[in-house]
Amino acid sequence: MDLAIVVVNYNTRDLLSACLTSVHASQGDCSCEVWVVDNGSTDGSGEMVASQFPQVHLIRSEVNGGYPYANNLALREILGLKTQIPQYVLLLNPDTLLPTSTLASMKAFMEQHPQAGAAGPRLLRPSGELDLACRRSFPTPANSFYQIFGLSNLFRRSHRFAQYNLTFLDPDETIEVDSVVGSFMMVRSEAIQQVGVLDESFFMYGEDLDWAYRMKAAGWKVYYNADVTVLHYKGEASKTSRDARRKARYEFYRAMYIFYQKHYRATTPLWLHWLVVGGIALRGSLAMIGELVRPPVPALAYRGGDG
């Protein structure tokens, strides 16, 4: 086995079915096995996997402990295999569809870049728009300030203000970046063994950034591979119930704060510290107010993780 694929699911049965179908239709030189961690779903997702995809390793979590928690259930099982550990692990969201050559192409890319601890493809939304989260810089205090106060959107071609989402770069360019997104994140098992599994302090955002940060701190590189394209139904999957939307908003801003405290607080001047913390609190509060007044929509629960 070259590759272990981990898919965390929470009430996305139909999306999960389509995703797994695309995974099992993959072609090329890449042998893989799939782990699905069902994060306490109530929509029959687990039953669907057991009946339609019996070859999949199904882990049923009785609680929705969050995205890192669920991934770690599978990662610890994979890394603890008594037989040979796979060379690569892929974190994959259930709202993705893979072209048949994706897995083989990404495996070949990792082999061609032996210093790559992690890599991700070009992620396109159904509209054809680039999912900006698929290539990012770390949210340093300066980058966070520009993002929180809208300068990154206002000056999308600026090398200074648009660092977080790298909107000044050509999306057709394969390049080393700070981080890719957990929606499709292929990771070298050796890097995981060195830096550890995902940080469960995060719930559904920020854990991929933190993982990439730790890998780069350990000397690994992270790449955005523009030559591979994956469809990501990010906009569709985020049509959640009101309570789930509120939870997602809260966890997004909480993740920003956790990441900042963990990696940058100790070296940030006091004046900038209060600007960053105040900005996170302000934007988070406004976002929560927006969810309170937003009308309800039909529920389609989703784990998130795509900050």
Q: What is the mean pLDDT of residues 99-114?
A: 98
Instruction: Please tell me the predicted confidence (pLDDT) of residue 240.
Output: 53
Helix (H) / strand (E) containing 245: helix 242-263
Residue 52 has pLDDT above 50, yes or no: yes
Mean pLDDT value across residues 37-41: 91
Query: How many other CB atoms are found less than 10 A from the CB of residue 244?
Result: 19
**pLDDT score for 288:** 79
CATH 3.90.550.10 region(s) of the chain? 3-140+170-237
pLDDT at position 296, please? Answer: 55
pLDDT for position 241: 65
- pLDDT, one tens digit per residue, over 53-99 is 999 999 999 888 899 999 999 999 999 987 789 999 999 999 999 99
Reported as a single tens digit per residue, the pLDDT across 150-200 is 899 999 999 999 999 999 999 999 999 999 999 999 999 999 999 999 999
pLDDT at 285: 86
> What does the CA dihedral 73, 78, 83, 88 come to, rounded to 10 degrees?
180
The CATH code for residues 3-140+170-237 is 3.90.550.10
pTM: predicted TM-score of the whole model, two decimal places = 0.90
Is the model's pLDDT at 100 over the cut of 80? yes
pLDDT confidence of residue 286: 82
| Helical axes 207-217 vs 67-79, angle rounded to 10° | 50
Q: Average pLDDT, stretch 219-237?
A: 89
